[in-house]
Copies of this chain bind each other. A is one copy, B any other.
Amino acid sequence: VRVSELSRVTGVPVATIKYYLREGLLPRGRSTGRNQAVYADEHIRRLRLIRTLREIGRLGIEDVRAVLGAIADEELPLHDLLGVAHRALGPRPDPSPVTADVEAARADVDRFLDELGWQVGSGAPARRTLADALVALRRLGRDCGPEVFGFHAEAAERIAAYELERTSADDGRAAAVEGAVTGIVVFESALAALRRLAQEHHSRLRFGRRGSSRAPAEGSRPAH
């Protein structure tokens, strides 16, 4: 297909495609002379992956390059490849100095994950995110340990196990990364939305009055 068709199929503007070509993120198409080139299915797949990383994962160009490099490095085991994607998606390291309560919370989280038996790299950004959540609770005056996250940890593990069952190494490394990035980002957002919706539902079951709220029961107030 021509670049215009490639743009139509993937929804990526032609100017953006040319930018990816210049940056070397997308391999050149087969030249057909006179400044034209044709692109194959591999270009469509690669472009979809870049789009996932950019738009869903909100990765910068250099992080996209790192992930694509990890995919190309056939020596790198799939698990480590997923680790590269995870780290690229994680929050940037916070440059502010680590206060004593943050340091204590990080140690607590490390111990908590050890006790769960989870094998997680010591530099995983999500360790810091979890410690920050614990710090937030404590600064609000709650006297709690990381065990306060126990129920959520169990739920998260069931979800992750379900998701990983659906990730196959057979589809190739690029497909595994695309699936992982989609899974990490899109389903993270979906899960957060579903939890809020379910909170509203359960809040209604628990505290709501029947029918639409704030509407007075029939006859309880004069019409006016």
Q: A56-B136, A78-B207, A82-B207 are in contact. Are A155 and B51 (CB under 8 A)?
A: no
A80 and B194 contact, CB distance less than 8 A: no
A56, A90, A130: which has the most chain B beta carbons within 10 Å?
A130
Q: With contacts A201-B120, A204-B119 known, is A195 near B161, CB below 8 A?
A: no
Asked if residues A201 and B132 are in contact (CB atoms below 8 Å), the reply is no
Given A159-B151, A160-B199, is A182 in contact with B113 using a C-beta cutoff of 8 Å? no
Asked if B140 and A48 make an inter-chain contact with CB atoms under 8 angstroms apart, the answer reads: yes
A213: which B residues are within 8 A, CB to CB? 77, 79-80, 83
Which chain B residues lie closer than 8 Å to A78 at the CB level? 207
Main secondary structure of the interface of A (DSSP, over half): helix
Complex contacts, A129 vs chain B, CB 8 Å: 189-190, 192-193, 196
B137 adjacent to A198 (CB under 8 Å): no
Contact A156 to B189, CB < 8 A, known contacts A77-B207, A202-B161, A207-B169: no
A209 (CB) vs chain B CBs: closest residue: B77
**A214: nearest residue on chain B (CB-CB)?**
B80
A118 interface neighbour in B141, B189, B197, Cβ under 8 Å: B197
The answer to whether A197 touches B48 (Cβ under 8 A) is no
CA distance A143 to B169 in the complex (A): 21
Chain A residues 120-157 with CB under 8 Å of chain B are 120-121, 124-127, 129-130, 132-134, 136-137, 139-141, 149, 151-153, 155-157
What are 30 A-B pairs with beta-carbon distances under 8 A?
A: A76-B214, A77-B209, A77-B214, A79-B206, A79-B207, A79-B208, A79-B213, A83-B200, A86-B199, A90-B196, A119-B201, A119-B208, A120-B197, A129-B190, A129-B196, A132-B189, A133-B186, A136-B182, A136-B186, A140-B182, A152-B187, A152-B190, A152-B191, A153-B198, A161-B202, A163-B199, A164-B202, A180-B203, A184-B196, A191-B191
Given contacts A86-B200, A151-B162, A152-B190, 12 further A-B contacts (CB under 8 A): A51-B140, A77-B209, A86-B196, A129-B189, A130-B194, A133-B189, A155-B155, A164-B202, A164-B206, A169-B207, A188-B192, A191-B192
